Chains A and B, each alone.
Chain A
Amino acid sequence: MDIGSAHVNTEPVPLQARTPNAPEKELLWRIHREADAVAREELITRYLPLVRSLARRFSSRGQPVEDLIQVGSIGLIKAIDRFDIERGVELSTYATPTILGEIKRYFRDKGWAVKVPRALQDLNIRLNRIIEQLTVELNRSPTIAELAEACDVSEEEVLEALESGRAYNSLSLFSSGSPDDEDSLELLDYLGREDDEYKLVEQRRYLAPAMGRLDERERLILHLRFFEGMTQTQIATRVGISQMHVSRLIRKSIEVLRQHMVDQDGVPPDPSR
Chain B
Amino acid sequence: MNVVITPEMVGQVVISGILSGALYAMVALGLALIFGVMRVINVAHGPLLMLGAYVTYFLFSGLGLNPYLTVPVSMAVMFVVGVILQRTLVFRVVNAPELSSLLLTFGISIALVNLAQLAFTSDLRAIEYLTRSFVVGPFAISGSRFIAFLFAIAVTALAFLFLQRTKLGKAIRATSQSAEVAMVCGIDVSRVHMITFGLGAALAAGGGALIAVVIAIQPEMGQVWTFKSFLVIVLGGAGNYPGALLGGLLLGLVEQLASLFLTTQLSEVVAYLLLVVVLLLRPSGLLSGRQT
Query: Are the chains A and B members of one assembly?
Result: no
